[in-house]
Structure formats: structure tokens, C-alpha cells
Amino acid sequence: MGRGGKAGLIAAGWLAGALPVLADDLPEKLAEKLAPCLACHGVEGQSVLENVPSLGAQTAPYALIQLFMFREKMRVAEPMTEAAQGLSDGDLQAMSDALAAQPPPKPPDDPGDPTRLERARAVTEQHRCNFCHRPDYSGQQSVPRLADQREDYLLKTLREYKSGARRAYEPIMVEVLQPTDDSQLIEFAYYLSHRR
Amino acid sequence: MKTLLSCSRTVLLAALASGLVAAIGPVAAQQQTKAPAVNPSPAPVPGLPAQAPGASPPSWAQGRPDTPEVANIAPVVPPPIPAAVDKLPVAKLKLPTGFQIEVFAAGLSDARSLRVDDKSNVYVSTRRIGRVYAITDKAGKKEVKTLATELNSPNGIALHAGTLYIAEINKISKVDNIASQLDSPPKPTVIYDDLPSDAPHGWKFLTVGPDNKLYFNIGAPCNVCMPSDRHAQIRRINLDGSGMEVVAKGIRQIVGMDWHPTQKVLYFTENQRDWLSEDQPNDKLNRLLHPGKDNFGFPYCGGGDIPDPQFGWGHSCQEFTPPVAQLGPHTAPLGMRFYTGKMFPAQYRNAAFIARHGAWNKSKKIGGDVVVAKLNPDGTVRSIEPFITGFIVDNNYIGRPVDMEWLKDGSMLLSDDYNGAVYRITYGPQRVSMSR
């Protein structure tokens, strides 16, 4: 079955038992709307599913833009496009704010190869990722948090921006990646997912 | 060529408050020393990785102030949901004596280029969310209609003989008799699509020339690169899409063009590269005196006066057509129009208003205003003065002006894509407000 199907089974498992971490603080309706999201993206901000991004402490403006794009069908990536249908502007804002309040994802257990990390750091900073995404990669405004994001999702996203397969709200990443090659994208993803 | 440096003293003083002078300083400094000095060991900027001892900062970091604001440099992206009417910044904007500004329409997410037809319907494009809007006014009641959706960055719009033309990244299309079909417009008909599909600088400005041809730009698909022979140029086509000609080359990106009202020459703003330095190169105001021949220098020369460190070797900026004015580094001049109305005082007749969207590639933002360029009889620029200021507060945007157009009564409409709104600027005794 496809990724969506597997996530659906897991979703059922989560909903049967655990309540999302945020449920106590949120109005019931919002918690209900978020439950299926957290089932895939992780109740503590950390995704354990391949190619599904962690959303904990993601910047609210960035999350809002992505949810808006899914709802408007500017980005078609199931199940997200389907999941965003029927959400109001207020829903999008409230959900983005709630995601931003989740704890950030944790770094992986494997600390990575120090030599490779140092070289990867240099090439990442050469492309000034540490400016827009901030030196600690926590993001700012509409520039997303990258720190401790899943390596597979980072690489997939970088490749999709570079090839044009992923539509951007603002084509900044396409422009930034214009002078790069795939071997550098691999190093970006390695560094950003392992750096501490 | 006119630079902000040679403004008259009174204009300089007027410009001081608005941040225009911030652009003058670096131009003066550049004239004294051609190459920026190498710092042996720059002081570490808080929060940024320390430089290796003895390493000079990369060229783009030279001239960078040593403040925490540097780490906040990032492109500014507007929220996709437009601002509520009561959050719009009109009360904070400053205009010359006798001018007023009010909200004309709100709730137009990503409002960009503006056009007005002879029935005073206002057309508004977008560049991120694929829509084209129309604002109609029936007996004082305004309505916003969405004419098209899911277009590919339809930033460029133009009107001619009742037809609306739309320029997306990779096609130009039209809707005939648009004004009679605003409630159920047909899908646009494609008239031209021999265009690259690159998203970076792929959005276009569209204008109809005195020769009844459509003029539009194709930007360079990068910050700086050697463009293909299909990029970094202005093309014109007939109204049916035939007869394409490249009329200008060496242009990085354009988001505003207009025709001198009497000389019929095309003027256009041009956005220059990022990450060279905080203070270089200047964004430009150009004019196309020799269609088919003019080359404005990209990627070899930036700002009209800075050889590019990556591409400039073996070239001189003197090889290329210089700008008629430098508009400040990274200020992002976008929409421009020559004033042809009768409401504003005579000094503004045939002057060019220019919206400076504002900088992001600078730690201290500049621009975020509308300036007015007054011309000499020969079409060169005599002076540039602030007209609307105040879109930057505490180094943050409270709005970002994009494009302007004139209503029949000579008032100015101004779009703001940061808030998703259109403002109206009038001159004279307080008039009956058109906002509802």
C-alpha cells in the first residue's frame, strides 16, 4: 500500500490511545482537527515516518504558507492536499500557531561522522544557509526551521526544489540551489539533520 | 547619468528622513576606492560562525555592519492571508503636503500589478497565488471579483481596446471584452508560449507600446549566472502573439515599465544581484533608446558601475547602456508610471513615480517607499524625491508597495502585496472618501 495507507493504519493506532500533547491547551475543535495531522507528523513534534517531516517548533508563518498552498491546490502532495480541503483561514492560522508551539524534534541518536560533518558544515555555510535559516537553523518568519529535521525529508525537498517538482510560494530555494549539484544537496541534508 | 549623489541640497535634506540618503553614502564611498578593503580579522558577529584567523570575509560580507541585525537577513514573504482593513498602515504613511492616502480595497491577497479600464474597473494581478482580480464600483459600492485562478504567476497584465492581456511565467494570454464579462469571464486564450518556465525571476511585467505591441521581460533564472539567449531580455510581440523580437538584453529582472508620455521611449526599473555587498550594486532606472541594440550589462556589470566579481573579467561597464538613475542598493524598485493626470500639481506632469518594494538583502532595510523621478527635457533624470514613505518601521515592513496606476480623476492607486490591499492617493482639499 502507499505511504498514505500505512500512515492511516498508524493514525488509527494513535487515536485509539494517546491524546496529542497539546490537547489540554487547545479548544476541543482545534485538537480534533490536529489529531490526524499529529498521527503522521508525531504527537511530540517528531515524525518517525519515512519522508514525513517533523513539524515541532516549525515557524508559524512557514506552516501557514504550506497549509494555504495545500488548500489552494498550489502544492499537490497527497494526503496533504486532500487533508487541507475545507479548512478556513482561521483554521490555517490556528493550526500553524499550534504546530509552532510543539517541542522541536530531537537530534538523531547517531551523532554522525565528525570529519564528514565538518566538511558538510563548510559547504552549507558557503551557500549561506545559516543566514536565512539562522545560525542555529531554527528559521525565522517564513523561512522554515531545519534543525533536526529528518534527513530523508530534507534531501527529498532539496531535490524537489532544485528540479522544480515542488512548487514554491516564493521561488527562493530554486534560485539558491541553482549553482549547486546533487552531491552538495546530500551533504546539506546530512549536516542539517545531524548538527548539534 | 543621474545618481542620487548629485541631488540638490534641499532634496537631500528631504531624503534624509526617508532613507534615500542611505543609498548615497555607499555610492560616494565606491567612487573613492574601487575595490572594498580586505579585513585581516573581522570582529565576530554574534551568532554567526567565527572566521578562521587571517581569513578575509567573502566579498558579499564586506561592508557588512557588525551588528546582530545581520543574522536576520532573509527574503521577506507576505502572509498568504490578506490583512484585515483595520490593520492596514495608511495612518502611518507620510506624503507631501496636500496629498492624502486612504484604503481603496482590501482582502486582495498578493495584490501586484494594476490596470484601469475606461469604465474605471480596476484589474489587479498576483504573482504567488495564481489569481487575477477585478475591482468594480457600482454606485459607490465596491466589489472584488476573481477573474482567473490557478495561473502560473500572472504578475503582468495590460489592457488594450477592451482586451485584458495576462503574462504568466511561460505564456501570454488574453480575454477579449473583459469589462462585459466580469461576472463570468471565460478562461484566457493563449496567444504566445515560446517562453522558458523557470520560476526564479520568471514573473513578468507587461505593457502595450505606442506601436500596439506587447512588451514583456524574461528575467535571469538565478541570482547571478550567464543567461541563455532566451533569458535576461525584453521581447515584444504583436497583439495576436506573432512577430516576436528581442528588443533589449543584459537585464537581470524587471517588474515595472512605462512609456514616456511625449517621447514614447520605454523606461523600466531593474533589480540587481544580491550577496555582492550590503551597499552594491544599485538597482536601476533604465530607458530603451535603441530597441534591438541596447545591452544593460547583466551579468558582467551591476548597477551600471560595478564589474561583477564572477563574470566581469575582460569586460568594462562602459561597454553597456548605463542607467538613467541609480535607485539605491537592494531597494527593489518595481512598478513605475509616468503621471499623465490633472489632479496632482503641475510639477508632477510627466514625472515617473516608482514603487521601491524595499530591501531584504541588507541588515538595515531601505526603500519601502514611493519616489518620484522628475526628468529633464531630454529624458534624463533631474531629481528623485520621496513621495510616500513609512512602509518600514523599526527595520520591519508594515506594508510593501508594488505598482501604481491612475484613475480617471488623476488620483493614484497603489498596490501593497504584503497586506493584500490597494490604496488611493489624492491631492487637494479633503475629498469624499471612496473607501467602503
By the 10 Å C-beta count (0-12 exposed, 13-18 middle, 19+ buried), A163 is classed as exposed
Q: From edge to edge, which strands make up the β-sheet containing B163-167?
A: B156-160, B163-167, B172-175, B189-192
For A173, which residue in chain B has the nearest alpha carbon? B200
B68 touches chain A (CB under 8 A): no
A101-140 residues touching B, CB cutoff 8 A: 125, 128, 130-136, 140
pLDDT 10s digits, B332-391: 999 999 999 999 999 999 999 999 999 999 999 999 999 999 999 999 999 999 999 999
* pLDDT for res B26: 34
B225 touches chain A (CB under 8 A): yes
Task: Tell me which chain B residues have a C-beta less than 8 angstroms from the C-beta of A125.
Answer: 49
For A133, which residue in chain B has the nearest alpha carbon? B74
Q: Which of A120-134, B5-19, B208-222 has the highest mean pLDDT?
A: B208-222
Q: Cβ contacts of residue B231 below 8 Å, gap of 6+?
A: B196, B198, B218, B219, B220, B221
Amino acid identity of residue A175, one-letter, is E
Whole-angstrom CA distances from B188 to B117, B173, B175, B282, B344 are 18, 6, 5, 37, 36
Whole-angstrom CA distances from A22 to A52, A100, A106 are 20, 11, 18
* pLDDT for res A31: 85
For A128, which residue in chain B has the nearest alpha carbon? B275
Whole-angstrom CA distances from A48 to A41, A54, A106 are 8, 8, 11
Helices (H), ranges, A85-181: 89-101, 114-126, 129-132, 151-163, 172-176
* pLDDT for res A28: 81
Pull the grid cell for residue B87.
Answer: 490593520
B254-283 residues touching A, CB cutoff 8 A: 275
Contact (CB, 8 A) for B165 and B159: yes
pLDDT 10s digits, B121-172: 999 999 999 999 999 999 989 999 999 999 999 999 999 999 999 999 999 9
Average pLDDT over residues B209-214: 98
Residue with more model confidence, B36 or B45: B45
A50 touches chain B (CB under 8 A): no
* Beta partners for residue B172, in sequence order: B167, B192
What are the per-10-residue average pLDDT scores of chain A (196 residues)?
42 41 64 90 94 97 97 93 95 95 94 96 92 94 97 98 93 92 97 94
* pLDDT for res A27: 79
Length of chain A: 196
Separation of alpha carbons B64 and B280, rounded Å: 11
Give one DSSP letter per residue of B15-66, joined into a string. HHHHTTHHHHHHHHHHHH-SSPPPPSSPPPPTTSPPPPTTPPPPGGGTT--S
DSSP 3-state of B425: strand
Are A178 and B222 inside 8 Å of each other by CB? yes
3-state secondary structure B197-243: CCCCCCCCCEEECCCCEEEEEECCCCCCCCCCCCCCEEEEEECCCCC
Q: Cβ contacts of residue A136 below 8 Å, gap of 6+?
A: A147, B47
B3-62 residues touching A, CB cutoff 8 A: 47-49
Separation of alpha carbons A99 and A101, rounded Å: 5
Hunting for cell 547583466 — which residue is that?
Answer: B298
**How far A163 CA sits from the closest chain B CA (Å)?**
10
Separation of alpha carbons B343 and A161, rounded Å: 48
For B219, which residue in chain A has the nearest alpha carbon? A175
* pLDDT for res A11: 42
Q: What is the pTM of this model?
A: 0.86
Separation of alpha carbons A161 and B47, rounded Å: 28
* pLDDT for res B385: 98
DSSP 3-state of A3: helix
